[in-house]
Amino acid sequence: MNTEHANKNIACTITNCKYHSCCGDYCSLEHIRIGTHEANPTQKSCTDCESFELKA
């Protein structure tokens, strides 16, 4: 996993994620998937980055 890549189109502060860029508050992936754990999402907290994986 090349976390030296910083995708300036995806700002992210989740440093616990294995895809977080080592070089700034960005994601290192080319694209991510956003989803929800709610049946009817109405707030920011209803949304999830489904590409998140816990850093080992």
Contact 49, 34 (CB under 8 A): yes
Q: How far is the CB of 41 from ligand SF4 (least distance, A)?
A: 17
Rule CB under 6 A: which residues touch ligand SF4?
Answer: 10, 12, 14, 17, 19-20, 27, 29, 32, 49, 51-52
The widest CA-to-CA distance across the chain, in whole angstroms, is: 36
Q: How far is the CB of 5 from ligand SF4 (least distance, A)?
A: 11
Q: Cα(37)–Cα(30) distance, rounded to whole angstroms?
A: 23
Of 12 and 36, CB closest to ligand SF4:
12
